[in-house]
Amino acid sequence: MRTDRGGTTDIAYVRGDATTPLGKGPRIIAHVSNDLGGWGKGFVLALSRRWPEPEREYRRWHRARAENDFGLGAVQVVRVERWLWVANMVGQRGIRTGSGGVPVRYEAIDAALAKLADEAARLGASVHMPRIGCGLAGGRWERVEPLIRARLTDRGIPVTVYDHG
């Protein structure tokens, strides 16, 4: 349920599948990907089961990275249906936890969310996502949620977060 927070929209938390976003009108499904061009574990598998375009475009984007903006903090928005897009947000360095810590990069997620907000505002779209950066990327929701509030809901962009189950 959304509540008003002094002119801003609050985050709605629901149980369900982020690949079947609730509501009508323009919607963007946002997720976090890595900076290696890897696509094969986690939420991206659910995306690929529904649409081939996000994976195909992400891989193409990565392959041409010398000529484009691919890298931490970048966003690629891919249309998958008439009123539905998928936002590939590069928000993790690599894919494994190691001496550099977990793969999530909060500053990259923040930068990507800022770009996503501009696109959502342009499209008049709501944003739908799992708990981005908190699965295989190893992030903590208490660090990600304030970024979503600052970049999206404080601008009046409706956000729904899906907990699978």
- CA of 98: how far to CAs of 14, 21, 67, 102, in Å? 33, 34, 29, 7
Q: Is the pTM here over 0.85, yes or no? A: yes
pLDDT tens for 37-84 read 999 889 999 999 999 999 999 999 999 999 999 999 999 999 999 999
Q: Which domains does the chain have, with CATH numbers?
A: 23-163 (3.40.220.10)
pLDDT at residue 8 in the model = 55
- Give the residue, 4 or 80, on which the prediction is more confident: 80
Q: β-strands 8-9, 27-34: how paired?
A: unpaired
pLDDT of residue 96 exceeding 70 = yes
